[in-house]
C-alpha cells in the first residue's frame, strides 16, 4: 500500500471516529433526559397538586365560611357575637385570623373568655364564657352589675336580688380595693354569698362584709379566701354580732 493510500485511510478513520464521538455527544443529553423525565413529571404533578390544594383551601369559596356558630352564651345574643367577630360569609375558613376574631369578641363587656375554632369544612365555632355579676354598685342614677374582676357587665335601673352592694371608692378592674372586696365575695359558697348585703373596702387589706341579718365580718385582705370562707361558715353557727376571719388561724366571734 502506498504512502498516499495509507494517509487517506488514516484520514477516513479519523473522520469516522470524530463523527462517532459527535454522535455519542449528541445522544448523551437525550439519554439523560429520558432518565430524568419521569422524575420531572412527578415533580410537576406534585407542584400542581400543591397549587390546587392551596387555591382550594386558602382562596377558593368552596371551603369558605358558611356559618358562624356561637356556643356558651345565654345573656348575649348570637348575632351580637357574630357582628363582633367580623367574619364574612364565604371568607376562606383556613384564612380566618382566629386570634383577631378572639380579640374582637373578647372586647364585648359581657364576655369573660373566648375560644375560636375551625369546624371543617365550612363552620367557624366561637365558644364564649359570659361574665357573671357577683355584686352591684351605684353608677349615677343606675346600678352597675360587676363581675369578680371589677368589670361592669351591665347597667340596670334597679338592683337584682341576691347580689351584695359593693362599697368602694372606685369600681374598676385595676382598683386594688375593689378587686379585694370582689375576691372575698367570690370566695364564699353561693348560699353564703346570697346572705351578704354589703361588701366594703377602704383599701386592699380592709375588706368587711355585712350580712342581711345585720352581723358583720372582718375579712381583711384577699389572701386565703377559700380558708376564710370555710372558717366563716363554721363560725356563723355560733351566736355573735361580729366575726373576724382576717387571720383565719385565730378567728374570733364577739
Q: What is the pLDDT of residues 187-202, one digit of tens each?
A: 999 999 999 999 999 9
Which CATH superfamily hosts domain 62-130? membrane protein fhac (3.10.20.310)
**How does strand 123-130 pair with strand 67-71?**
parallel
Confidence of residue 182 (pLDDT cuts 50, 70, 90): very high
- Per-residue confidence (pLDDT) for residue 202, from 0 to 100: 96
Who wins on pLDDT, 57 or 144?
144
Weakest mean pLDDT among 4-8, 201-205, 249-253: 4-8
Q: In this predicted structure, what is the pLDDT of residue 134?
A: 96
How far apart are alpha carbons 67 and 72 in whole angstroms?
17
Is 28 exposed, middle or buried, given 0-12, 13-18 or 19+ CB atoms closer than 10 A?
exposed
Higher pLDDT among residues 28 and 56, named by residue: 28
> Global pTM?
0.69
H or E element: which one contains 174?
none
CATH 3.40.50.11690 fits 135-253, yes or no: yes
Residue 44 has pLDDT above 80, yes or no: no
At 54, the pLDDT band (50, 70, 90 cuts) reads very low
Residue 94: pLDDT above 60? Answer: yes
Sheet containing 67-71: give its strands across.
67-71, 123-130, 111-119
Whole-number mean pLDDT of the chain?
85
As a whole number, mean pLDDT of residues 175-191 equals 96
- 253 pairs with which residues across the strands? 243
Q: How far apart are CA 188 and CA 7, in angstroms?
A: 118
All residues at 6 or more sequence positions from 201 whose CB lies less than 8 Å from its CB, including other chains: 167, 168, 177, 178, 180, 181, 207, 208
Which of 44-58, 64-78, 117-131 is least confident? 44-58
Amino acid at each position: 500500500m502506498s504512502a498516499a493510500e495509507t494517509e487517506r485511510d488514516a484520514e477516513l478513520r479519523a473522520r469516522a471516529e470524530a463523527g462517532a464521538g459527535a454522535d455519542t455527544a449528541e445522544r448523551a443529553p437525550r439519554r439523560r433526559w429520558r432518565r430524568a423525565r419521569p422524575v420531572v413529571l412527578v415533580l410537576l404533578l406534585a407542584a400542581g397538586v400543591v397549587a390546587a390544594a392551596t387555591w382550594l383551601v386558602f382562596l377558593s369559596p368552596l371551603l369558605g365560611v358558611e356559618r358562624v356558630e356561637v356556643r356558651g352564651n345565654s345573656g348575649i345574643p348570637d348575632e351580637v357575637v357574630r357582628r363582633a367577630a367580623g367574619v364574612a360569609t364565604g371568607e376562606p375558613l383556613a384564612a380566618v385570623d382566629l386570634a383577631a376574631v378572639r380579640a374582637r369578641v373578647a372586647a364585648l363587656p359581657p364576655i369573660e373568655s373566648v375560644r375560636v375554632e375551625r369546624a371543617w369544612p365550612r363552620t367557624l365555632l366561637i365558644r364564649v364564657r359570659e361574665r357573671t355579676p357577683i355584686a352591684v354598685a351605684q353608677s349615677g342614677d343606675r346600678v352597675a352589675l360587676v363581675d369578680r374582676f371589677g368589670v361592669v357587665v351591665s347597667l340596670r335601673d334597679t338592683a337584682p336580688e341576691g347580689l351584695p352592694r359593693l362599697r368602694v371608692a372606685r369600681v374598676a378592674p385595676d382598683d386594688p380595693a375593689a378587686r379585694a372586696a370582689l375576691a372575698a365575695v367570690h370566695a364564699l359558697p353561693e348560699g353564703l354569698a346570697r346572705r351578704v348585703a354589703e361588701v366594703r373596702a377602704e383599701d386592699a387589706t380592709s375588706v368587711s362584709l355585712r350580712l342581711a341579718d345585720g352581723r358583720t365580718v372582718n375579712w381583711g385582705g384577699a389572701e386565703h379566701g377559700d380558708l376564710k370562707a370555710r372558717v366563716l361558715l363554721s363560725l356563723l353557727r355560733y351566736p355573735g354580732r361580729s366575726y373576724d376571719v382576717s387571720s383565719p388561724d385565730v378567728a374570733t366571734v364577739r
